[in-house]
Amino acid sequence: MDSTFQFDWQAAFDSIPYLLKGIPYTLLISGVGLAIGFVIGIIFGLLRISPMAWLRWIAIIYIEVFRGTPVLVQVLFIFYGLPQILGGPIDAVTAGIAAIAVNSGAYISEIVRGGVQSIERGQREAGLSLGLTRIDTFRFVIWPQAFRRMIPALGNQGIISIKDTSLFAVIGVGELVRQGQIYIATTFNALEVYLMVAVLYLAITLSLSVGLRLLERKGLVGQ
């Protein structure tokens, strides 16, 4: 019996057009989820450094819960658990977006907290001495500088969230991995197809990484 395995490059390349159908879902879920997560991150990041202890504790509980539990468990809870509470089904794509939003929001909260606290106290004092209110000092002096320092970490979180979308195949979202599973069911070329899935994910994440490095070289992010 000949057990020699031959990698079928033609089968791998033939799978690409089908796999590409999953990229819009991958980018939609990660893009919209991260946008919402960024808003959540700003809110809870600022609550995390609030002078009011009860606000800090609200932020701490949220951050620890969603950073301390797997995103897979979170999306399963949203997709299967929340409908029992809400009394109606939740679309798989919506569940995926929500999971990315709350999960990335917890990590972005810490990025925001670290970015704001990295700005020297003298910057705040300088703004106030110029007659700016505390809010205007934060908006025009603290936040612009802090945001530049956050961009590399935000980019890294974006890459993580893009890869996290691969887990949403379990709820039927038609992203890259799910498209690969469907294609494998008809061709049985698992190794070839999953290799191309990995290559496509790598192409997306490397593109984002290269973009971030270009921004850093031009001095548009960081210090």
- Per-residue pLDDT tens over the stretch 94-137: 999 999 999 999 999 999 999 999 988 888 888 878 888 888 88
Report d(CA 195, CA 197) in Å as an integer.
5
Residue whose pair of structure tokens reads 């192409």 in the numeric block:
203
Residue 1, classified by CB atoms within 10 Å of its CB into exposed (0-12), middle (13-18) or buried (19+), is exposed
pTM of the model: 0.90
Cβ atoms of 120 and 55 closer than 8 Å = no
Cβ atoms of 170 and 99 closer than 8 Å = no
- The reported pLDDT for the residue numbered 57 is 96
Cβ atoms of 103 and 161 closer than 8 Å = yes
In angstroms, what CA-CA distances link 7 with 45, 71, 191, 217? 49, 34, 8, 40
> Given a cut of 80, is residue 5 above it in pLDDT?
no
- The reported pLDDT for the residue numbered 39 is 97
- Would you tell me the crossing angle of helices 92-117 and 143-164 to the nearest 10 degrees? 150
- The reported pLDDT for the residue numbered 4 is 65
Cβ atoms of 197 and 19 closer than 8 Å = yes
Q: 133 Cβ partners below 8 Å, 6+ apart?
A: none
Report d(CA 157, CA 41) in Å as an integer.
12
- Per-residue pLDDT tens over the stretch 8-26: 888 889 899 999 999 999 9
Say how many C-beta atoms besides its own lie within 10 A of residue 105's C-beta. 26
**219 — pLDDT class (breaks 50, 70, 90):** low
Domains, the chain, in order of start with CATH, read 24-217 (1.10.3720.10)
- The reported pLDDT for the residue numbered 9 is 85
Q: 214 Cβ partners below 8 Å, 6+ apart?
A: none
- The reported pLDDT for the residue numbered 134 is 85
- Per-residue pLDDT tens over the stretch 34-77: 999 999 999 999 999 998 999 999 999 999 999 999 999 999 99
